[in-house]
């Protein structure tokens, strides 16, 4: 096919096609949130050390972020449907491979393969929406549905994961992806039209190598610093320097070439930049704080995995309500107001945790989650702005930029906000608590259990320290979201509508 899209199937079955795309993002997001709930069970079963745990959490984003740019551009050339269906197959195969995972290294390998599949799926879903819905208003609605499905994945991932953990085992939390991916492959063959860039130009092999190497080095540097190496550690500095050199060279190549692997010039658009900033800031704040909240619910409040998953629902359910309404609100008050306002509302939600009376209780957390989730509806507008600001033939690259922002933000959230939380936690505990107790809350509770009655004081100190670290981390997330709200307001043109035009 040489045209950009097969018009007949796209017009007749575009909403059915959207259902297939939404199912893909639903499962990918659900898989990311399931790990938050399943991690304690995996740790108890396989007994990984701290390095293994960090890799289990980070390797998915490491691989995904490294491949998004290259695979997004590959989809523009090779065919977006073909790449998407291949991603579905890889994701399903990786999920089934967990049956053979008998140690932490095998789980890390499974998560890495899931990252490969996710890197094929995520930019393909966004770029195909751009082609299925050429009308900007319909596209905004479709992106609202897409964002809502991501919210559903965020909502029910912890619940489904908790239910499967209580009834079966942590492996079942991965296996649930297999039938969904199988159905998505079959449905995609019939419901999704093929589309690609009609004039893709030559494939930039050196650029692809530079983008992969640079992104992996960048994410690794952040991860290593957050794991305790510190910003001035030799490994951190070496990886960071390599990332800057490789990505700088990659950007220079893209700016020089008439057919770049990634259309860096898109950042000349203030609205496009605003959408990327919103995605990055939201991912940093949400990933870091939700991971801590999942642990707080299970280890401090002593809820089961299922009970913890249910108590995380307010954020995702609020986003589920807000996302489809955001395009309608933007049509009335403007995309800029909705984008910046949503970020500000989410930032206010993070502040609720900091300002809640001590001891921190679940009602305050539920209120914070609802505000955070309601503000996430703005991300439907962010995706619409990103897609509207890119040429149709480069939509895969534009989607890759947005998705890279999400994934790099996720790594930064775990590494940076996780480091802030760890520093506060250690600072709140007395030095005589011991190395194991100061390493993590789980370690402190294990030590307290071994001490019997004498460990009650240590358990109390550790849970109070962890709660304090959660409050400080939420404050950092709030400041980041509020700064992003100001940036989005300044970058987005006042008269921008969802078609990318100015009034």
What are 155-201's pLDDT values in tens digits?
677 777 777 777 777 888 788 888 889 988 998 888 888 877 666 66
Q: Indicate whether 503 belongs to any domain.
A: no
Same domain for 366 and 227, yes or no, is: no
Q: pLDDT tens, 290-321?
A: 778 888 888 888 887 778 778 888 887 888 78
Distance of alpha carbon 448 from alpha carbon 467, whole angstroms:
17
Instruction: Give the three-state DSSP class for 502.
Output: strand
Burial of 301 (C-beta count, 10 Å sphere; 0-12/13-18/19+): middle
CB atoms within 10 A of CB 349: 28
Nearby residues of 115 by Cβ (< 8 Å), 6 or more positions away: 59, 60, 61, 62, 63, 64, 67
434: left (phi over 0), alpha (psi -120 to 50) or beta: left
- Which of 217, 238, 258 corresponds to the end of one domain? 258
Average pLDDT estimate for 235-252: 89
Cα dihedral 297→118→223→426 (10° resolution): 0
CB atoms within 10 A of CB 476: 19
Which structure tokens are listed for 204? 């930039």
Same domain for 163 and 100, yes or no, is: yes
pLDDT at 32 over 70: no
CA 354 to chain centre: 24
Among the ranges given (45-59, 310-324, 336-350, 467-481), the one the predictor scored with the smallest mean pLDDT: 45-59
User: Which pLDDT does position 39 carry in this prediction?
Assistant: 76
Same domain for 33 and 142, yes or no, is: yes
Q: Indicate whether 500 belongs to any domain.
A: no
- Which of 258, 279, 305 corresponds to the end of one domain? 258
Same domain for 17 and 108, yes or no, is: yes
Instruction: Give the three-state DSSP class for 263.
Output: coil
Q: pLDDT tens, 98-124?
A: 888 888 888 889 888 988 998 888 777
Q: How many domains does the chain contain in total?
A: 2
Distance of alpha carbon 94 from alpha carbon 99, whole angstroms:
10
Closest CA to 104 of 150, 166, 66, 59: 59
Nearby residues of 452 by Cβ (< 8 Å), 6 or more positions away: none
Same domain for 149 and 229, yes or no, is: no
CA quadruple 497, 125, 262, 409: dihedral sign: positive
Identify the residue with better confidence: 234 or 342: 342
Same domain for 363 and 475, yes or no, is: yes
Q: Indicate whether 496 belongs to any domain.
A: no
Q: Indicate whether 132 belongs to any domain.
A: yes
pLDDT at 10 over 50: no
Beta bridge partners of 502: 496
Distance of alpha carbon 226 from alpha carbon 418, whole angstroms:
7
Predicted TM-score of the model (pTM):
0.73
Nearby residues of 151 by Cβ (< 8 Å), 6 or more positions away: 316, 317, 319, 320, 323, 373, 376
CB atoms within 10 A of CB 353: 27
Print burial letters for 162-182: b (CB count within 10 Å at least 16), e (below 16): bbbbeeeebbbbbbbbbebbe
Backbone angles phi, psi at 220, to 5 degrees: -65, -40
| Measured CA distances, 139 to 58, 172, 286 (Å) | 32, 35, 26
Instruction: Give the three-state DSSP class for 496.
Output: strand
Same domain for 466 and 416, yes or no, is: yes
Same domain for 50 and 147, yes or no, is: yes
Whichever domain contains 314, its CATH number is 1.20.1250.20
Q: What is the DSSP string of 8-39?
A: HHHHHHHHHHHHHHHHHHHHHHHHHHHHHHHH
% of the chain residues with pLDDT over 90:
10
Give the 3-state secondary structure of 220-240: HHHHHHHHHHCCCCHHHHHHH
Give the residue carrying structure tokens 């390095």: 51
Average pLDDT estimate for 400-410: 72
Cα 106-36-125 angle, rounded to 5 deg: 85
pLDDT at 503 over 70: no
Same domain for 211 and 290, yes or no, is: no
Which structure tokens are listed for 426? 């250690």
In residues, how long is the chain? 503
Q: Indicate whether 234 belongs to any domain.
A: yes
pLDDT at 3 over 80: no
- Which of 240, 258, 276 corresponds to the end of one domain? 258
Cα dihedral 327→328→332→336 (10° resolution): -20
CA quadruple 420, 423, 427, 432: dihedral sign: positive
Q: pLDDT tens, 456-467?
A: 777 787 888 888
8 A C-beta contact, residue 118 and residue 91: yes
Cα dihedral 420→426→427→431 (10° resolution): -160
8 A C-beta contact, residue 88 and residue 184: yes
Name the pLDDT band for 24 (thresholds 50, 70, 90).
confident
Does residue 359 have a cis bond before it (omega within 30 degrees)?
A: yes
Same domain for 15 and 145, yes or no, is: yes
Same domain for 265 and 294, yes or no, is: yes
Q: Indicate whether 484 belongs to any domain.
A: yes
Residue 323 lies in domain: 7-201+259-491
Chain mean pLDDT for the chain: 79
Name the pLDDT band for 8 (thresholds 50, 70, 90).
very low
Name the pLDDT band for 400 (thresholds 50, 70, 90).
low
Instruction: Give the three-state DSSP class for 304.
Output: coil
């Amino acid at each position: 096919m040489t045209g950009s899209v097969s018009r007949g199937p796209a017009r007749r079955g575009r909403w059915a096609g959207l259902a297939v795309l939404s199912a893909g993002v639903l499962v990918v997001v659900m898989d990311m949130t399931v790990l938050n709930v399943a991690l304690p069970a995996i740790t108890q079963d396989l007994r990984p050390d701290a390095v293994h745990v960090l890799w289990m959490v980070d390797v998915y984003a490491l691989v995904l972020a490294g491949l998004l740019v290259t695979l997004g551009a590959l989809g523009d050339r090779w065919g977006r449907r073909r790449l998407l269906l291949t991603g579905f197959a890889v994701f399903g195969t990786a999920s089934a491979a967990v049956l053979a995972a008998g140690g932490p290294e095998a789980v890390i390998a499974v998560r890495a393969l899931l990252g490969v599949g996710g890197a094929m799926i995520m930019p393909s879903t966004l770029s195909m929406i751009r082609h299925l819905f050429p009308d900007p208003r319909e596209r905004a609605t479709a992106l609202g549905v897409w964002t809502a499905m991501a919210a559903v994945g965020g909502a029910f991932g912890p619940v489904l994961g908790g239910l499967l953990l209580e009834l079966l085992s942590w492996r079942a939390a991965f296996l649930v992806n297999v039938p969904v991916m199988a159905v998505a492959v079959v449905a995609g063959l019939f419901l999704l039209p093929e589309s690609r860039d009609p004039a893709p130009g030559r494939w930039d092999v050196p650029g692809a190598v530079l983008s992969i190497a640079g992104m992996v080095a960048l994410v690794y540097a952040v991860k290593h610093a957050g794991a305790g190496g510190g910003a001035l550690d030799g490994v951190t500095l070496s990886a960071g320097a390599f990332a800057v050199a490789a990505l700088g060279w990659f950007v220079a190549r893209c700016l020089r070439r008439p057919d770049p692997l990634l259309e860096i010039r898109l950042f000349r658009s203030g609205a496009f930049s605003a959408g990327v900033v919103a995605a990055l800031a939201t991912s940093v704040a949400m990933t870091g704080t939700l991971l801590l909240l999942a642990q707080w619910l299970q280890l401090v409040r002593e809820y089961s995995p299922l009970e913890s998953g249910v108590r995380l629902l307010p954020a995702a359910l609020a986003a589920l309500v807000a996302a489809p309404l955001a395009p309608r609100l933007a049509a009335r008050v403007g995309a800029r107001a909705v984008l910046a306002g949503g970020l500000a509302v989410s930032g206010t939600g993070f502040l609720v945790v900091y300002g809640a009376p001590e001891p921190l209780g679940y009602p305050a957390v539920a209120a914070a989650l609802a505000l955070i989730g309601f503000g996430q509806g703005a991300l439907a507008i962010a995706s619409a702005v990103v897609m509207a600001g890119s040429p149709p033939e480069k939509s895969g690259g534009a989607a890759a930029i947005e998705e890279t922002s999400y994934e790099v933000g996720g790594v930064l959230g775990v590494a940076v906000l996780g480091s802030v939380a760890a520093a506060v936690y250690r600072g709140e505990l007395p030095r005589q608590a011991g190395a194991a107790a100061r390493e993590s809350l789980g370690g402190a509770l294990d030590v307290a259990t071994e001490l019997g009655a004498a460990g009650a004081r240590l358990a109390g100190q550790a849970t109070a320290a962890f709660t304090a670290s959660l409050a400080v981390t939420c404050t950092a997330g709030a400041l980041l979201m509020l700064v992003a709200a100001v940036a989005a307001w300044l970058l987005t043109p006042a008269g921008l509508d969802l078609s990318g035009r100015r009034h």
